[in-house]
């Protein structure tokens, strides 16, 4: 991927002193709605106005977008406000229509990135375009699928590329609609250091009260921009109502975010430090979640032992586990003393849990 050196150039063209912001409703609903929101976002940090025209919905029967007519509304919004316009494309026919209507930014949605056939079809339809093309991560946490999508677009000679991180779906319930899995975004950033990386806190959170914190984390992790869904009447939006914010709320979010600039050594130092600390926060969170999951399994074992009236401590098994971890820890440059301490603490917590269960 040697031709990715100047990829940030399209971002530089915006000449911004703040992160790039893509704002606008989840879906275009009516011409009035599109124009009203575009005007409310006109004098804000938003440079690109988004609205979905074709909506990929997980279940049939939901609002599936207004279709091609919405492209005309977007054009009108651009003409009246000067904002660039963006929409999602999910097949060759969408691409053709979007290009005919001179849409500036085309993004590939998470449900499309999962399918190499679809991505290839879109890449072929976009071949050689000067338009900005943004690729959302696939719905499932599969870095290779995301990278493969980028490779298909590179091969179609698309120069103005970027990435959108919108989180990953999971079977397990969490406070997020789509779990951020920040380490995947960090990896993708390491793989494509010259590609603009944009965070979509709306689809990560699924709820508007989390958007600020997710955006701040993204900026601390050196993301280049944010895509935030915004509607003049969020609660009555035809899609994704819970996660949309009013234009004035979007403006307030942008005002309160701490933007890390790298314009002098002190700032650069602070920005690097914040970046590393944010990465550490991500891993700490993962450690805690993994331990909590381990404890749940251990509780199950406690219940099993109770039915069979077996002792909590199975010394032989515990010694085997510990020795195996010490060896693996050494391979990962962790001292045996440290590994022993950690696993003894985890084991003790496990015993405490099982004791409680057995004696309940
Ligand atoms: C959207 O941006 O409205 C959308 C459908 O997003 P995603 O592909 O991330 O689900
Ligand atoms: Mn949406």
- Supply the CATH number for residue 273's domain: 1.20.59.10
- Give, to the nearest 10 degrees, the angle between helix 92-100 and helix 116-126: 30
- With a 6 Å cutoff on the Cβ, whether 231 touches ligand 1 is no
Sign of the dihedral defined by the CA atoms of residues 250, 255, 259, 264, in that order:
positive
- With a 6 Å cutoff on the Cβ, whether 25 touches ligand 1 is no
What local confidence, expressed as pLDDT, does residue 7 receive?
56
Nearest to 299 by CA among 342, 350, 348: 350
Nearest CA to ligand 1 atom 2: 26
Both 105 and 156 in one domain: the answer is: yes
Q: What is the mean pLDDT of residues 225-243?
A: 97
Q: Which of 214, 242, 259 is the last residue of a domain?
A: 259
For 320-352, the pLDDT digits (tens) are 999 999 999 999 999 998 999 999 999 989 988
Both 184 and 230 in one domain: the answer is: yes
- With a 6 Å cutoff on the Cβ, whether 177 touches ligand 1 is no
206: phi > 0 → left, psi -120 to 50 → alpha, else beta; which? left
- With a 6 Å cutoff on the Cβ, whether 34 touches ligand 1 is no
Domain residues for 208?
A: 5-259
pLDDT higher than threshold 90 for residue 59: no
Could you say which ligand is closest to the alpha carbon of residue 134?
1
For 77-124, the pLDDT digits (tens) are 999 999 999 999 999 999 999 999 999 999 999 999 999 999 999 999
DSSP 209: G
Name the token pair of 338: 């440290």
How many domains does the chain contain in total? 2
Both 217 and 239 in one domain: the answer is: yes
Specify the ligand 1 atom closest to the Cα of 52.
3
Both 94 and 162 in one domain: the answer is: yes
**In testing the pocket of ligand 1, which one of 28, 62, 111 has its CB within 8 Å of the most ligand atoms?**
111
Both 318 and 280 in one domain: the answer is: yes
Strand positions, DSSP E, 66-169: 84-88, 105-108, 132-136, 160-165
Both 76 and 104 in one domain: the answer is: yes
pLDDT higher than threshold 70 for residue 306: yes
Helix, strand, coil % (nearest 5) of the chain?
55, 10, 35
* Mean pLDDT of all residues belonging to the chain: 92
Both 167 and 250 in one domain: the answer is: yes
Q: Which of 233, 259, 285 is the last residue of a domain?
A: 259
* Gap from CA of 55 to ligand 1 centroid (Å): 8
Count of other CB atoms within 10 angstroms of residue 164: 24
Q: What percent of the chain has pLDDT over 90?
A: 74
* Gap from CA of 26 to ligand 2 centroid (Å): 4
Both 124 and 273 in one domain: the answer is: no
305 Cβ neighbours under 8 A, 6+ residues apart: 311, 312, 354, 358
Contact 101, 73 (CB under 8 A): no
Specify the ligand 1 atom closest to the Cα of 50.
2
Could you say which ligand is closest to the alpha carbon of residue 178?
1
Q: What is the mean pLDDT of residues 245-273?
A: 86
350: phi > 0 → left, psi -120 to 50 → alpha, else beta; which? alpha
- With a 6 Å cutoff on the Cβ, whether 24 touches ligand 1 is no
- With a 6 Å cutoff on the Cβ, whether 131 touches ligand 1 is no
- End-to-end Cα separation, the chain, in angstroms: 60
Q: Dihedrals φ, ψ of 20, to 5°?
A: -65, 135
**In testing the pocket of ligand 1, which one of 54, 109, 165 has its CB within 8 Å of the most ligand atoms?**
109
For 16-49, the pLDDT digits (tens) are 999 999 999 999 999 999 999 999 999 999 999 9
Both 251 and 327 in one domain: the answer is: no
What local confidence, expressed as pLDDT, does residue 71 receive?
98
Name the token pair of 240: 């994704």
* Gap from CA of 166 to ligand 1 centroid (Å): 8
Q: Which of 217, 236, 259 is the last residue of a domain?
A: 259
What local confidence, expressed as pLDDT, does residue 262 receive?
58
For 148-188, the pLDDT digits (tens) are 999 999 999 999 999 999 999 988 888 999 999 998 998 99
- With a 6 Å cutoff on the Cβ, whether 109 touches ligand 1 is yes
Both 289 and 157 in one domain: the answer is: no
* Residues making up the chain, counted from first to last: 360
Specify the ligand 1 atom closest to the Cα of 202.
2
Q: What three-state secondary structure class fits 87?
A: strand
pLDDT higher than threshold 60 for residue 6: no
Both 187 and 224 in one domain: the answer is: yes
* Gap from CA of 240 to ligand 1 centroid (Å): 9
Contact 225, 19 (CB under 8 A): yes
Both 16 and 117 in one domain: the answer is: yes
pLDDT higher than threshold 50 for residue 3: no
């Amino acid at each position: 991927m040697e031709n990715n050196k100047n990829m940030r150039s399209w971002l530089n063209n915006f000449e911004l002193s703040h992160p790039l912001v893509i704002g606008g409703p989840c879906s275009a609903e009516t011409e009035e709605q599109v124009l009203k929101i575009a005007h409310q976002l006109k004098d804000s940090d938003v440079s690109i106005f988004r609205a979905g025209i074709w909506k990929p919905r997980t279940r049939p029967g939901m609002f599936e977008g207004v279709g091609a007519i919405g492209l005309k509304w977007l054009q009108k919004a651009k003409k009246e406000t000067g904002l660039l316009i963006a929409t999602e494309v999910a097949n060759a026919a969408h691409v053709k229509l979007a290009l005919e209507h001179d849409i500036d930014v085309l993004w590939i949605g998470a449900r499309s990135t999962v399918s190499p056939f679809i991505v290839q079809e879109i890449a072929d339809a976009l071949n050689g375009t000067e338009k900005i093309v943004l690729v959302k991560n696939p719905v499932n946490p599969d870095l290779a699928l995301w990278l493969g999508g980028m490779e298909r677009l590179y091969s179609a000679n698309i120069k103005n590329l970027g990435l959108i991180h919108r989180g990953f779906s999971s079977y397990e319930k969490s406070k997020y609609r789509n779990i951020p899995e920040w380490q995947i975004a960090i990896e993708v950033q390491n793989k494509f250091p010259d590609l603009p990386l944009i965070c979509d806190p709306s689809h990560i959170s699924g709820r508007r009260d989390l958007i600020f914190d997710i955006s701040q984390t993204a900026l601390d992790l050196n993301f280049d921009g944010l895509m935030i869904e915004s509607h003049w009447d969020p609660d009555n939006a035809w899609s994704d109502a819970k996660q949309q914010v009013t234009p004035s709320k979007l403006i307030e979010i942008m005002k309160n975010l701490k933007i890390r600039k790298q314009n002098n050594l002190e700032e650069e130092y602070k920005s690097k430090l914040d970046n590393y600390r944010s990465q550490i926060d991500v891993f700490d969170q993962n450690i805690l979640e993994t331990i909590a999951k381990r404890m749940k399994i251990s509780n199950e074992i406690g219940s099993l032992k109770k039915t069979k009236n077996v002792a909590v401590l199975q010394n032989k098994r515990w010694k085997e586990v510990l020795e195996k971890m010490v060896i693996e820890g050494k391979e990962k440059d962790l001292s045996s003393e440290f590994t022993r301490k950690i696993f003894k603490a985890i084991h003790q917590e496990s015993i405490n849990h099982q004791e409680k269960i057995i004696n309940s």
